[in-house]
Structure 1
């Protein structure tokens, strides 16, 4: 019996030492520090990232991610996981799984949908090399928008790219070396949209789309989503789908070419990017009303086609974090039917029309 007890004690000590070693050599944090619950299509969604740092010279490969979801009474609601089992392992849905020595990777939360309202705590267990496990707790909170928004465009519009799990806004990797070198350290476009005007058949351009004027979006009015104050304007950039990469370190807004930033309250700013050259007559300090024209859609900056990049963020400066956005009085078009929305949001693939009178 004594020999068995000694073996059990040894196993416990090994497990404790392994956990201590892991905590000291692998650092895991999540960004933003307080993830927000967003309500999309009757689902609760959380949009955040894990930043994982390897402090050793060892190679670490992520082999499993386990999520346990708890309510306020610490009762388990749901359990989900990705692992390396099977011929097409689910862990491969995470592209950045390996740290070859000292380094950092960004992992987008792979379980964005959670039980409505009752979720209180998310407990993730990351397993590396099939043997090293670290537990990490995330406490999300509800987000309440302080100001009523309308949509920034009135015509029949496609959300060409939103901020769902697969969208490029959602997957802005600020730990990717070329991006990090420009000074980016947060995802300011975490909840952004690319809006494109379409015709009755869902087409974005009339013929071949080779010229800006062939696109229905080009020159379309952009509206202020709410009352506010202009805090930044750029209007001189050409509509040539280009930007100066050398300027990004000094001005991260260079990505958006011509743009307007409106402040609507404390830590509440809206950004309207890729505007048509000289289409805005506004200047810093101007007051605008909800529904007021603030410019037109163009192809300035990093614009792959004529479209409006719209986002909400918590500051107008560098290192801003994106915020969810909800809009009033619009309809989602589903073929020949309309789904009227008094208050809600849109996302990738939705075709909508604004019903506001403003």
Structure 2
């Protein structure tokens, strides 16, 4: 088998990518790649937009990551390949690029122990063409630890299930804005990259009573939602029915249509908090109003693209269809395990956790 080497080296300087490329262009997204810190691990949440610049059909055969410390010493490595009866490379769902085609690939190496210094990440991609020629492309990334500038209070009170956060399996994390139907709506980034779905529970950790067939069966329905920090309301819509529907074509003009009744608050650092799927006519403030941290802004509903009553919450850069998501940590949550609870020092809520918000 012939082997042809290509190099694609990407460094992040002031948010501007610098890369060299031949047949395959690999562009990490977003431009700023952050390291999130939980109690016992580091989390990397980013994607690769991979473009086949040639007319050949190319298939991803192997992906390897090497991690280096600040002295360029190798400290950790992992890989996915095509070895065995159930090859690990199959965990990457899109592996074939036709000529002049591009796809978004979600970074499968997303969680690491706290002991690893993530100073430099080197990804090595091995592609093959129809003639079994191999092409190896290397992409180097220098991530940065995320520093939150604003103190966020949790937007709910009581016992809460983190129904879906932004880990590798989360639907927020796997929003493919390169998918053609989404591109047609001119959505060009993952504004929900670090989003959450929060569900209020009773003291036995149940989400609903009876069979959960009615909105009122859910313990969270009509419960209060609070501003996570001081700010100014820059978006407020309250007239959507609590009927789990939304107008898809309107997303082209307003991506927040996805969330039905919704409030957006811009904070002093420029970040924007989003509170979605609120109850019809429950909003307490209008666009232009100033709010304080902990003030009630509305109630949980089931408006917009919502399967059942819950709060969709996210922090993002702005309200445009090119907005990017931002991480968020909360200063007042405990992790509940059985009949015990412990302070979440990191403040990071993770998928599947039961937390108590004070």
Query: TM-score, normalising length from structure 2?
Result: 0.92
How much has 1:119 moved relative to structure 2?
A: 1.6
Count of residue pairs the alignment pairs up: 342
After TM superposition, the structure 1 = structure 2 runs for residues 228-267 of structure 1, keeping only pairs within 5 Å, are 228-267=231-270
Aligned residue in 2 for 1:65: 63
Tell me, in whole angstroms, the C-alpha distance in 1 between the residues paired with 2:255 and 2:67. Answer: 37
Number of the residue aligned with 2:182 = 179
Aligned partners of 1:83 and 1:89 also within 8 Å: yes
Task: Quote the residue 1:19 is aligned against.
Answer: 6
CA distance in 2, matches of 1:101, 1:265: 46
Q: Is the 8 A contact 1:259 1:273 kept in 2?
A: yes
SS at match of 1:255: helix
In structure 1, the partner of 2:95 is: 97
Give the C-alpha shift of residue 184 in structure 1.
1.2
* Contact preservation (8 Å) 2:300, 2:310: yes
Q: Does 1:121 align with 2:120?
A: yes
The structure having more radius of gyration, on CA atoms, is: 1
Distance, in Å, in 1 between the alignment partners of 2:347 and 2:7 is: 46
Do structure 1's residue 268 and structure 2's residue 268 form an aligned pair?
A: no
Residue 327 of structure 1 corresponds to 330
Larger deviation, residues 342-351 vs 223-232: 342-351
Which residue of the partner structure matches residue 348 of structure 2?
345
Deviation by residue 1:81-105 (Cα, 9 ceiling, x = unmatched): 0000011111011111111222111
Q: Distance in 1 between matches of 2:257 and 2:333?
A: 31
**Structure 1 SS opposite 2:60:** strand
- Contact residue 5 and residue 137 of structure 2 kept, 8 A: no
> Match for residue 145 of structure 2?
142
Could you tell me whether the CA contact under 8 Å between 2:149 and 2:269 is conserved in 1? Answer: no
More helix by share: 1
Contact preservation (8 Å) 1:276, 1:298? yes
Structure 1: distance between partners of 2:353 and 2:188: 30
Shift of 1:314: 1.2
Contact map agreement 1:218 1:297 (CA 8 A) in 2: yes
Query: CA offset at residue 230 of structure 1?
Result: 0.5
> Deviation at 1:59?
1.0
Deviates more, 1:338-347 or 1:91-100: 338-347
Instruction: Check conservation: 1:267, 1:313, Cα contact below 8 A.
Output: no
> 1:187·1:322 contact (CA, 8 Å) conserved in 2?
yes
Note the alpha carbon deviations across 1:243-265, whole angstroms, 9 max, x for none. 00111111111100010000112
Deviation at 1:215, TM superposition (A): 0.9
What are the ranges of 5 or more consecutive residues in structure 1 without an aligned counterpart? 1-10
TM (norm. structure 1) is 0.92
2:287 counterpart (274, 277, 284): 284
Aligned counterpart, 2:83: 85
Q: Which has the larger displacement, 342-351 or 306-315?
A: 342-351
Q: Report if the CA contact (8 A) 2:235-2:286 is conserved.
A: yes
Q: Which residue of 2 aligns with 1:5?
A: none
For 1:233 and 1:139, how far apart are their aligned partners in 2?
A: 38
- Alignment equivalent of 1:28, drawn from 26, 30, 37: 26
* Partner SS state of residue 157, structure 1: strand
List, as ranges, runs of 4+ consecutive aligned residues in structure 1 with deviation greater than 6 Å: none
Equivalent position SS for 1:254:
helix
The counterpart of 2:39, out of the listed 35, 38, 41, is 41
Q: Indicate the RMSD between aligned Cα atoms, in angstroms.
A: 1.8
Q: C-alpha offsets along residues 98-129 of structure 1, whole Å, 9 cap, x if unaligned?
A: 11222111111111123537221101011112
